Amino acid sequence: MASSPDGRTLATGNSSGTIQVYDFETLRVLYRINSWGHGIKSLAFSGDSLQFVDIRGSQCNVWEPSVLVRQNADEEHSDSDAISTATKEISSATIEELISITAIVSHPTMDFVFCGKDDGTVMLFESVHGKVQKELYSHVEDISVTLLRLGNNVLVSADASSRLIAHRLGGIARHIACNERLFDLLLVQAVTDVLLRPDMTCLLVSTPNVENLLSANGDKISTFELQPSLMRKWCQHPRDPSKLIAAAEHRVEVYDWDDLRAGKTMPASVLETSNPDVFHIQAINQHPGSRHIAIRSSNPSANRSHTHTTLFDVSMLGEDLSASTESRFLETHHRIQFVALERSIEHVFGYIGTRVIFLDRTGWICSTDLEMFTEDFYLRHFFIPTDWLSINLELIGTLTYRNDLALVQRDEMAVIKRGFDYSEQVLLLQEGGGEEVGIGRGRPEAKSTGLM
C-alpha cells in the first residue's frame, strides 16, 4: 500500500499481482491493473504524484495512468458529473505471455544487434540503447528461432522446425534492411550449428548425423558423414581462413573448407569433464587474430553450474600428433590449459582483441589477456544481478560493435556501456596441496587497479 505525496491517491497491491488505485477521499476505485504473475512486494509514488512503481518478483514496473492527471485537474471542475466515474481496467502480461529472445548476434561494424525470438521473428535492436528498431522478417509463427549467424553482410537464421533462412543485408547509415532472400530451406534433421565461410562463398550446416556444405544461394555442394558420428560445434580457424575447427565430445579437429578432410585431431584428454560418460559441447568461441579459442561443455542432464570451459592455443593443431611426439604435445598442452582460470569461468561472451570476456562463478563480468596471461590473476569489471543469471535459463549475450556488453533476459535486452572502464584484480588461489584450483563461488580476493 502507498499514498501519493499530494495526499489525493491511494494504491494497493495484493499477492496475486493486482494493483488498484483509489481516490483517497472517497475510496472510489479509479484504476485497476490485473496481472496473474508474481505478487506485489512494494509500491511507491513519484514526487509529482503522476507515476507509481511496483516491485513484483525480480521486476520493477513504472505506471503512468491517466487518472492521476485527472486527479490534479479535479479542482478546476465545479461539476463532478463532467468527469467519468467509471473504473479503468487493464491487464498486464504475465511472464508466460512474454515473447522471449532466444538467439542473438551483433553487427561487427554498426550499432545493431539481431535477435531471434520465441515466436519466430527476427528483430533488429539498437545496441546504443537496447531498444527495438523493427522486425526484419519471420519464420513460421510460434516456431522458436534457435540460432543466428552473421558474416559478410549475410544473416542466417534457423528455427526449431529445421528451417534455414538467409538474407543479404543492405542499407545506409542507421538503417538496415533485408535486401535479398538468398534461400529458404527446410532440412530433414535439426540444425545444430551454422558456420559461414569468411568470403561467404559457402556455409556449413551441421545436423546430428550429417554435415552439409551449401553454396551462398542454398544449393547443396556436398554432404559429409564425419567419423566418428558426433554432435559437433564449429568455428572459423582464427589464423587460417581456409580452415575451420570442430569440437565434439573429447575431440578437437581442424578441417579444410574445400573438402572437409580432417587435418589434425587433438587427443581425448584435451576436453576435461567431471563426468566423461555424459559430455556435450555447447559453444566454441574465437576471435580473428587471437590464437586461443574457448570451448564450453556441459553435462546435458545438469544445470548451468556444471559447465566447463577449456582454453587452448590453436597453434597446437599444427603439431605432428604421431606417437613419438604425443608426450611432448601433452606436456605443452598441460602448460597452457589455464587450469585455475578455466575453473573460474562460467560463460564466455567473446573477445576484445586478445582479451577474453567472461562471466565468472561469482557473477562478475571479467576479462584477461590470453596472450599475456600470468596464471596469477584476472580482472573483474562489474557484476550482473542474480535474477539475470537463473540456472534454469540459458545465458544469452554478446559484445557489441563498441565493445559494450548486451545481455538478454526473456524479452528484454540491456546494454552495459563503458563497463570495462574500471577493473580490479582477482587473485587465482590454489586451495590445499593439489586440490581444486580456483576462487570458487564466494567473494573473490581482489585489489583495485583503477582504469584499464
CB 54 within 8 A of CB 42: yes
CB 369 within 8 A of CB 280: no
pLDDT given for residue 93 in this prediction: 57
pLDDT digits (tens, 9 = 90+) for 140-176: 888 999 999 999 999 999 999 999 999 999 877 678 8
96, 120, 142: which is the final residue of a domain? 96
pLDDT given for residue 275 in this prediction: 44
Q: Is 332 exposed, middle or buried (0-12, 13-18, 19+ CB in 10 A)?
A: middle
pLDDT given for residue 232 in this prediction: 85
**Lookup result for grid cell 528461432:** 145
- In the chain, % of residues over pLDDT 70: 75
If one compares 98 and 125, the residue with the highest pLDDT of the two is 125
Give dist(CA 265, CA 262) in Å, integer.
Answer: 8
User: Within a domain: residue 263?
Assistant: yes
If one compares 250 and 257, the residue with the highest pLDDT of the two is 257
Model confidence at 287: pLDDT above 90: no
Q: Give the number of other CB atoms < 10 A from CB of residue 76.
A: 6
Q: Give the number of other CB atoms < 10 A from CB of residue 97.
A: 11
Model confidence at 274: pLDDT above 50: no
Residue 27: give the domain boundaries.
Answer: 2-96
The mean predicted confidence, pLDDT, of the chain is: 79
pLDDT digits (tens, 9 = 90+) for 8-22: 999 999 887 889 999
Q: Which residues contact 58 (CB under 8 A, 6 or more apart)?
A: 385, 387
User: Within a domain: residue 381?
Assistant: no
Give dist(CA 330, CA 346) in Å, integer.
Answer: 25
Q: Which of 38-42, 112-116, 163-167, 286-290 has the lowest mean pLDDT?
A: 286-290
CB 386 within 8 A of CB 364: no
Q: Which of 44-48, 231-235, 264-268, 341-345 has the lowest mean pLDDT?
A: 264-268
User: Within a domain: residue 273?
Assistant: yes
Average pLDDT over residues 422-443: 56
The three three-digit cell numbers of residue 363, written as one number:
557473477
Q: Give residue 106's pLDDT band: very low, low, confident or very high (50, 70, 90).
A: very high
Listed residue (276, 273, 314) closest to 294, CA to CA:
314
Model confidence at 231: pLDDT above 90: no
Listed residue (403, 351, 326, 443) closest to 128, CA to CA:
403
pLDDT digits (tens, 9 = 90+) for 399-408: 999 999 999 8
pLDDT given for residue 314 in this prediction: 79
User: Within a domain: residue 79?
Assistant: yes
If one compares 266 and 215, the residue with the highest pLDDT of the two is 215
Q: How far apart are the first and last CA of the chain?
A: 46
Do the bridges between strand 19-23 and strand 292-298 make them parallel or antiparallel, or are there none, so unpaired?
unpaired
User: Within a domain: residue 51?
Assistant: yes
Average pLDDT over residues 413-423: 91
pLDDT given for residue 70 in this prediction: 59
Model confidence at 315: pLDDT above 80: no
If one compares 307 and 183, the residue with the highest pLDDT of the two is 183
Domains: count for the chain: 2
Give dist(CA 150, CA 101) in Å, integer.
Answer: 17
Average pLDDT over residues 241-266: 78
Q: Give the number of other CB atoms < 10 A from CB of residue 5.
A: 11
pLDDT given for residue 94 in this prediction: 52
User: Within a domain: residue 152?
Assistant: no
**Lookup result for grid cell 573473490:** 444
Q: Which residues contact 324 (CB under 8 A, 6 or more apart)?
A: none
In what helix (H) or strand (E) does residue 271 lie, and over which residues does it extend?
none
CB under 8 A, 24+ apart: contacts of 315-321: 315/239, 315/291, 316/266, 317/245, 317/252, 317/254, 317/263, 317/264, 317/266, 318/264, 319/264, 321/264, 321/265, 321/266, 321/267
pLDDT given for residue 89 in this prediction: 67
pLDDT given for residue 214 in this prediction: 93
If one compares 221 and 439, the residue with the highest pLDDT of the two is 221
User: Within a domain: residue 259?
Assistant: yes
Model confidence at 263: pLDDT above 70: no
If one compares 79 and 222, the residue with the highest pLDDT of the two is 222
User: Within a domain: residue 304?
Assistant: yes
Give dist(CA 408, CA 106) in Å, integer.
Answer: 13
315, 337, 359: which is the final residue of a domain? 337
Give dist(CA 269, CA 296) in Å, integer.
Answer: 15
399 beta partners: 405
Give dist(CA 331, CA 72) in Å, integer.
Answer: 76
Q: Give residue 136's pLDDT band: very low, low, confident or very high (50, 70, 90).
A: very high
Do the bridges between strand 308-313 and strand 345-352 make them parallel or antiparallel, or are there none, so unpaired?
unpaired
pLDDT given for residue 433 in this prediction: 32
Q: Which of 31-45, 201-215, 273-287, 426-440 has the lowest mean pLDDT?
A: 426-440
75, 96, 117: which is the final residue of a domain? 96
Q: Give residue 390's pLDDT band: very low, low, confident or very high (50, 70, 90).
A: low
Q: Give the number of other CB atoms < 10 A from CB of residue 413.
A: 24
Listed residue (430, 431, 427, 429) closest to 448, CA to CA:
427
Q: Which of 40-44, 261-265, 275-279 has the lowest mean pLDDT?
A: 275-279
Model confidence at 37: pLDDT above 70: no
